[in-house]
């Protein structure tokens, strides 16, 4: 079996196929490029704060004027409204390596453990009239080598997260190398004018954040779901609005508990966003999600529309007759983004709440279970298809440090009854910094017609809530903190795309042990073949 795994690892670096369609994979270099196109081109942006992996096609009059990769990678082909189409997606292959411990963020279903890792994205897409389909799976391999794991025994499996018993956040996916197949960015969808309904496993991000969206991100595999909403924003007299409502089933990993009856959780949620016509460039909206263990109570009509209908005291009766007010975990966020397209600048803010929220509690206790992400992005065009993009983003998911904080203030992405928390197959569906985390990241990217150079600096302090709850305030708290510097480059050579990424990380007080420091080296190479 190990020989087969390593054979797949080698093949993943060599495989290539001719392709013409496009899907933006969660960990692709195109994620950053697409956001740069949105910011640099006036009138180009179609979506406000709901982003999926499918790339929209554009008419001649809406093609981006600034598009330095148009010759090398024609992502945005003109939509000629064909009644029937078929595209083979380019194969994108990556090999990565973590020297000391697992590390990987916003890479969808892929697990990047210690040691060598590889992933291959491929597929097809097309349409028959209003019926659109995408089959874009990912196959990935992880050497999954052992490392210095926490061993506190608070969960059934020692491979699970050991600093909170109420979240299925895997430390290591078992004792052996793994090779897995995921449907990835696949979907079947009906699109009629601005509206859509689909069955999908495509990642969806909600909100304006570049790196750490709080409610829904690219950090984990998206669970199988059905969604209804807008494919592109609907233009009205008061402005352009978009919405998406999602129903799905979240699955437990193999490394949380031994109870097969609680493996599935029900999810319902989504977001609605508006760009008012009287405030050009300004967008705002709300995201709201609910999830619960399927066995906690009977499933009724109210559950189908829980995110729209649940504004009561949220009191439920369990099968054993006990009355509780917390069967569902829920999160709500207000999102704001103001884009000044004429100068290529935007500022954004997401303010979230991780507990039942009515107007009275929000007005009287705005600090209760709050979290936020704030960020800025700026493009500087220097001509001839060359431009710099700078991004700064700060996220805080930790509880406010107030003397009289309500005792029941929850920890983000965890829940008393849905013990796996807000996760899919062992990875957090929200911000990758995880429960109680805080972080800053600054990024500078240089785009030019033949590729990209990038630099970033990141700080993450993991699970402040555990650190503050566990260690006496008079002692030096051993905060588990990581500082990382990343260099990356993308280069087009004829029909080939090559990418390199190198990240050095200094982890201080690993597993909250004072001076238990580690240095991790992360390297990644990417290769793809593109037919022009």
Q: What is the average pLDDT value for the chain, to the nearest integer?
A: 86
Q: What is the CA radius of gyration of the chain?
A: 23
- What is the structure's pLDDT at 317? 46
pLDDT tops 70 at residue 321:
no
Q: Domain segments of the chain: what residues?
A: 2-529
Residue carrying structure tokens 């965890």 = 414
Whether pLDDT at 11 is above 80: no
Residue with token string 């180009």: 44
Q: Is residue 464 within 8 Å of 436, Cβ to Cβ?
A: yes
Indicate whether 279 pLDDT > 80: yes
CA separation (Å) from 231 to 44, 130, 191, 205? 15, 12, 7, 14
The residue among 280, 281, 272 whose CA lies nearest residue 337 is 281
pLDDT digits (tens, 9 = 90+) for 170-184: 999 999 999 999 999
What whole-number distance in Å separates Cα of residue 96 and Cα of residue 187?
A: 27
Q: What are phi and psi of 293, to 5 degrees?
A: -70, 135
pLDDT tens per residue across span 385-425: 999 999 999 999 998 876 555 556 778 999 888 889 999 99
Token pair 């950090």: residue: 219
Alpha-helix residue ranges (DSSP H) falling in 116-233: none
Query: Token pair for residue 505?
Result: 């990380």
- At residue 88, the pLDDT reads 86
Output the pTM of the full model.
0.90
Grouping H, G, I as helix, E, B as strand and the rest as coil, residue 295 is coil
Place of tokens 């233009």: 235
Lowest mean pLDDT among 256-270, 392-406, 448-462: 392-406
% of the chain surpassing 70 pLDDT = 85
pLDDT > 90 in the chain, percent:
60
Identify the CATH homologous superfamily for domain 2-529.
Capsule assembly protein Wzi (2.40.160.130)
Q: Is the dihedral of CA 43, 48, 53, 54 positive or negative?
A: negative
pLDDT at 238 over 70: yes
Q: Cα–chain-centroid distance for residue 448?
A: 27
Three-state DSSP state, 252: coil
Tokens standing for residue 510: 């690993």
Provide the greatest CA pair distance for the chain. Answer: 70
């Amino acid at each position: 079996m190990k020989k087969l795994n390593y054979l797949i690892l080698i093949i993943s670096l060599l495989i290539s196929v001719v392709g013409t369609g496009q899907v933006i994979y969660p960990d692709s270099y195109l994620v950053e490029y697409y956001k740069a196109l949105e910011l640099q081109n006036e009138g180009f942006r179609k979506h406000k704060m709901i982003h999926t992996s499918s790339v929209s096609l554009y008419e001649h009059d809406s093609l981006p004027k600034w598009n330095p990769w148009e010759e090398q990678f024609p992502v945005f082909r003109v939509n000629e409204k064909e009644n029937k189409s078929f595209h083979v997606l380019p194969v994108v292959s990556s090999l990565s390596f973590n020297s000391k411990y697992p590390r990987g963020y916003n890479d969808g279903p892929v697990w990047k453990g210690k040691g060598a890792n590889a992933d291959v994205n491929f597929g097809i897409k097309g349409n028959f009239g209003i019926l659109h389909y995408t089959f874009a799976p990912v196959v990935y391999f992880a050497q999954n080598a052992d490392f210095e794991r926490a061993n506190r025994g608070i969960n059934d499996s020692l491979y699970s997260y050991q600093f909170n018993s109420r979240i299925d956040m895997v430390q290591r996916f078992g004792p052996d190398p793994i090779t897995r197949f995921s449907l990835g960015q696949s979907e079947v969808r009906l699109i009629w004018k601005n509206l859509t309904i689909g069955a999908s496993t495509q990642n969806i991000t909600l909100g304006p954040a570049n790196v750490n969206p709080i409610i829904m991100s690219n950090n984990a595999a998206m669970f199988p779901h059905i969604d209804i909403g807008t494919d592109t924003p609907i233009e009205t007299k008061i402005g352009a609005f978009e919405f998406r409502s999602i129903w799905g089933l979240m699955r437990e990993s193999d490394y949380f508990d031994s109870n097969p009856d609680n493996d599935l959780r029900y999810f319902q949620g989504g977001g609605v966003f508006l760009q008012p016509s009287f405030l050009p460039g300004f967008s705002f909206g709300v995201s709201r999600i609910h999830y619960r263990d399927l066995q906690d109570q009977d499933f009724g009509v109210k559950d189908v529309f829980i995110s729209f209908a649940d504004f009561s005291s949220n009191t439920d009766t369990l099968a054993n007759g006990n009355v509780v007010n917390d069967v569902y975990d829920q999160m709500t966020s207000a999102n704001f983004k103001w884009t000044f397209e004429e100068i290529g600048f935007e500022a954004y803010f997401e303010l979230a709440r991780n507990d039942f929220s009515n107007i009275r509690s929000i007005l009287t206790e705005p600090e209760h279970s709050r979290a936020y992400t704030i960020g800025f992005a700026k493009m500087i065009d220097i001509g001839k298809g060359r431009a710099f993009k700078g991004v700064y983003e700060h996220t805080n998911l930790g509880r406010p440090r107030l003397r009289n904080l309500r005792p029941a203030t929850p920890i983000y992405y965890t829940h008393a009854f849905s013990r796996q928390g807000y996760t899919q197959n062992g990875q957090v569906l929200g911000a990758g910094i995880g429960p109680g985390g805080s972080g800053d990241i600054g990024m500078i990217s240089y785009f030019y017609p033949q590729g990209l150079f990038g630099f970033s600096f990141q700080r993450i302090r993991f699970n402040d809530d555990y650190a503050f709850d566990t260690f006496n305030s008079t002692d030096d708290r051993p905060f588990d903190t990581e500082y990382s510097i990343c260099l990356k480059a993308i280069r087009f050579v004829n029909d080939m795309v090559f990418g390199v990424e190198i990240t050095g990380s200094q982890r201080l007080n690993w597993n909250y042990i004072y001076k238990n420091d580690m240095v991790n080296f992360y390297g990644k190479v990417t290769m793809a073949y593109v037919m022009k």
